[in-house]
Amino acid sequence: MDARDKRVEKAQTRVIFTVPFFAPGVAKLPVVWDPAVDTACTGGDCIRFNPEFFDSLTDPQLVTVICHETAHCLLGHIWRAPGGCDWDQWNIACDHAVNLMLKDFSAMVTAKGLADPFPFPDPPEAYCANPAFRDMAEEAIYGRLAANKPPSQGGGNGTGKGSGAKGGGKAAQSGPSQAKPAPGSMPSFGQMSKPKPGNGNQASAKKLGNDWQNTLLQSAKLASGQGTLPAGLERFVDQTVNPQVPWWELLRSWLREQCADDWNWLQPAMEYEGSGFILPSLASERVGTIVFATDTSGSINAEMLAQFQTEKQVCLDEMRPKRLVDIYCDSRISKVEEYGAGDTITKQCPGGGGTDFRPVFEHVGKMDKQPKALVYLTDLYGSFPASAPGYPVIWVTWTKDGKAPFGHVVYAPET
């Protein structure tokens, strides 16, 4: 074992005792010496180090670089890249997220009077770790960088030299300079190799990604009992263990369930005969009436409102209700639209005023026949009817932990 290998072994041991969260991941990444790499990079199966860059690091800094590379794998950065993204820019976005996480780890440890587990190579202020990106998902950081709209608070925007690695594990640009970088120039010592295209490679990458996800859960279990997980990483682990189903998928599933008794699986739909699919026919000519109500009093996130309008169209096209009643209400009803098969839901949404849910339920109560279901998009701050109606109700709300006296509540976080 030569001197470099001994230093690697020493760094791996140091990880076990100082930052055990990273230990399972570090153990999965053997070090390979590669002069073609400017600094260090990973593709999920090893860490490739430039020997000269390796020699320039102190032992504590070596731990930082190894854990930085490991974090890229644990957080799935190699496999989470948005389709068709700028790989160098994605590298930078992920570097911001990883370095901020390492700094959070350092803050937790040094607060206990212990040595900084993750000192950065000189100059430490040069590396991508903009505090304005803290608690932001890597995809959101990438979006900011790609739109060339960096936040104004501290740090650089991540553009500049050392921004990433191309396929084959070769870094695209140079590593960190020993001189203080120019504004906006953020070097990177830890890069990712871009997965190679091809069906075989895709299957292999998926298997490797799943393997790393299991390692993340193992690492979290190891560290959670010790209280050594930064808040940002704890949230990511929780999302991995308990993935959140998008609210619109929950809504679609709920609507299908409410309309289930209108579908006849014993009598297949003849219009699909010969298609290779066996689909149910409708027990009646169409599913009964479905009502959508939109609370127009508050400040609804535009993207959420657009998605809600889309769900109305999906319901109309897929559920095929006899009619879809679309109600807009604040303290009183401002607009009612009715749609049938083949119609297009309007994208316009009136608004203003206070909040009162009772007018909607009063209007529905006067309909010739009660609906199969009512879907209400609201913040849940308003006056409810004194009693529950005789039909199922689902409240889609952007108020976290929102409550309703009846019906089913689905949380739709604002984007």
> Tell me, what's the pLDDT at 187?
46
Identity of the residue numbered 295: D
Per-residue pLDDT at 251: 86
CB atoms within 10 A of CB 103: 19
Q: What is the pLDDT of residue 347?
A: 77
pLDDT of residue 275: 52
Instruction: State both tokens at 58.
Output: 């102190």
d(CA 76, CA 110): 27
Residue with tokens 């390492």: 102
Domain 247-411 has CATH 2.40.10: no
pLDDT averaged over 10-residue windows placed end to end, the chain, 415 residues? 92 91 93 93 93 95 94 90 83 91 89 90 79 84 73 35 28 30 40 65 77 86 65 65 70 78 54 53 64 84 81 86 92 92 82 83 95 92 94 91 91 76
What pLDDT, on a 0 to 100 scale, did the predictor assign at position 164?
31
- For residue 151, what pLDDT is reported? 45
Please state, in angstroms and rounded to a whole number, the distance separating the CA atoms of residues 90 and 116: 28
CB atoms closer than 10 angstroms to residue 265: 11
Q: Give domain limits for the chain.
A: 3-238, 247-411
Q: Do the Cβ atoms of 282 and 263 come closer than 8 Å?
A: yes
pTM (2 decimals)? 0.55
The predicted pLDDT at position 224 comes to 63
Q: Tell me how crowded residue 85 is: count the other CB atoms within 10 A of its CB.
A: 16
pLDDT at position 52 is: 95
Q: Which helix (H) or strand (E) holds 2?
A: none
CB 103 within 8 A of CB 118: yes
Give the per-residue pLDDT at 20: 87
Length of the chain in terms of residues written:
415
In the chain, the amino acid numbered 64 is T
- Position 245 scores a pLDDT of 65
- Residue 333's pLDDT is what? 93
| Three-state secondary structure of 120-175 | CCCCHHHCCCCHHHCCCCHHHHHHHHHCCCCCCCCCCCCCCCCCCECHHHCECCCC
Q: What's the distance, CA 312 to chain centroid?
A: 24
